[in-house]
Amino acid sequence: MKKLAVVALGGNALLRGDEHGTIEEQEKNTTETLENLVFLIKDGYDLIITHGNGPQVGNILLRNDAGKELYDIAPMPLDICVADSQGGIGYMIERMIRNVLNKYGIKKNVITMVTMVETDPKDPAFHNPTKRIGKIYMGEEAKKLEKQKGWVFKPTPKVKGGCRRVVPSPKPKDIINKETIETLTRNGNIVIASGGGGIPIYYDENSDVRTMDAVIDKDMASSLLAVNVKADELYILTDVPFIYKNFGTPEQEKLEFLDYNDTLKYLEAGTFADGTMAPKIEACLHFVKNGGTKSVITEATKLEDRSYGSKITMEYDY
């Protein structure tokens, strides 16, 4: 059986820095990121691509508000906005990767699946929203929106004095249609799934599907999907080439080769920032604990160079 890799594209794979988010910018960024996956395809890997949606779903919510205020258009709930972002981003990734495959003379089908993910409506995350979505606001603007809309804001480490809206981020319990995703992938198709962490749903007492106002962490959902489809490797692409201990301080230290126990100790000691690197570490630990061979956290541009990236395994094997 060929190796199967799940590749989670971070937000910077689509939208970077202070860009405005035009489709031209996002298509260019996406293409540059996808170019770095060609070596996996050439090496014979079956491939599942997941992606973030934080800036995009935030912009959809802003359009919601503008439409209501200016034209009395009924706003859509967060789950519909997540689904909208899944469809739009998935389509963009699919179109760009088809062009990349064409460039390299690779013939493969590419399939985008709008994916629901089961969560627990009693998850404690609903009492402590942490997932950042949407644009960065400065102090006074954030306070105004808190008062007007009841939004919750937390500081962002990316811009001094900046804040982003936060919503609950419950843990994923199950990937809906996971069997179909695995079958399509094992048959040689590239599948784009679980975008933005998936659309959060739960089952009520009648086993009907219900929704909730939340955003699932993309990396945790990617890890669960990777376990469900029995993937060999999980790649989380972000904006740094390695995991760092004491990141951003004079004591910053690169952590390149890690086993499960050492990584868990770092995590429990608060070495990694909540809401940014810590969820990625948790996702990697979950994957290798449940049968994955290796998790890698790195920049997309460093992916093909095996000397880059922080690798997490159950035990050292290098």
- DSSP letters for 90-137: HHHHHHHHHHHHHHTT----EEE---EEEE-TT-GGGGS--EEEEEEE
Residue 162's pLDDT band (boundaries 50, 70, 90)?
Answer: very high
Whether the pLDDT of residue 158 is over 60: the answer is yes
Residue 16 sits in the same domain as residue 84:
yes
d(CA 2, CA 149): 50
d(CA 270, CA 274): 8
User: Lowest mean pLDDT: which of 125-129, 204-208, 237-241, 247-251?
Assistant: 247-251
Average pLDDT, the chain: 92
d(CA 48, CA 29): 19
Residue 93 sits in the same domain as residue 214:
yes
Domain that holds residue 250: 4-121+172-313
pLDDT value of position 306:
83
Residue 117 sits in the same domain as residue 226:
yes
Whether the pLDDT of residue 131 is over 90: the answer is no
Residue 141 sits in the same domain as residue 259:
no
261 is catalytic: no
pLDDT value of position 317:
53
Residue 251 sits in the same domain as residue 159:
no
Average pLDDT over residues 209-226: 96
Residue 243 located in a structural domain? yes
pLDDT value of position 316:
59
pLDDT in tens, 272-283: 987 689 999 999
Residue 83 located in a structural domain? yes
Residue 39 located in a structural domain? yes
Residue 68 located in a structural domain? yes
d(CA 162, CA 155): 6
Specify the number of domains making up the chain.
2
d(CA 37, CA 52): 17
64, 131, 195, 309: the catalytic one is: 131
Q: What is the pTM of this model?
A: 0.91
Residue 75 sits in the same domain as residue 158:
no
Residue 179 sits in the same domain as residue 282:
yes
The CATH number of the domain holding residue 279 is: 3.40.1160.10
- Identify the bridge partners of residue 47 per DSSP, sorted by sequence position: 5
Residue 94 located in a structural domain? yes
pLDDT in tens, 221-242: 999 999 999 999 999 999 889 9
131 is catalytic: yes
Average pLDDT over residues 1-7: 94
280 is catalytic: yes
Average pLDDT over residues 179-206: 98
Residue 105 located in a structural domain? yes
Residue 318 located in a structural domain? no
Residue 79 sits in the same domain as residue 194:
yes
Place of tokens 């599907």: 209
Residue 126 located in a structural domain? no
pLDDT value of position 54:
82
> What is the DSSP secondary-structure string of 236-254?
EEESSSSEEETTTSTT-EE
More confident position, 179 or 157: 179
pLDDT in tens, 36-50: 999 999 999 999 999
Residue 208 sits in the same domain as residue 158:
no
Whether the pLDDT of residue 134 is over 80: the answer is no
122 is catalytic: no
12, 29, 53, 64: the catalytic one is: 12
User: Lowest mean pLDDT: which of 54-58, 92-96, 120-124?
Assistant: 54-58
Residue 25's pLDDT band (boundaries 50, 70, 90)?
Answer: very high
Whether the pLDDT of residue 247 is over 90: the answer is no
Residue 11 sits in the same domain as residue 89:
yes
178, 280, 294, 311: the catalytic one is: 280
218 is catalytic: yes
Residue 273 sits in the same domain as residue 199:
yes
218, 292, 294, 311: the catalytic one is: 218
pLDDT value of position 284:
98
Whether the pLDDT of residue 18 is over 80: the answer is no
Neighbours of 141 (CB within 10 A): 14
Residue 85 sits in the same domain as residue 154:
no
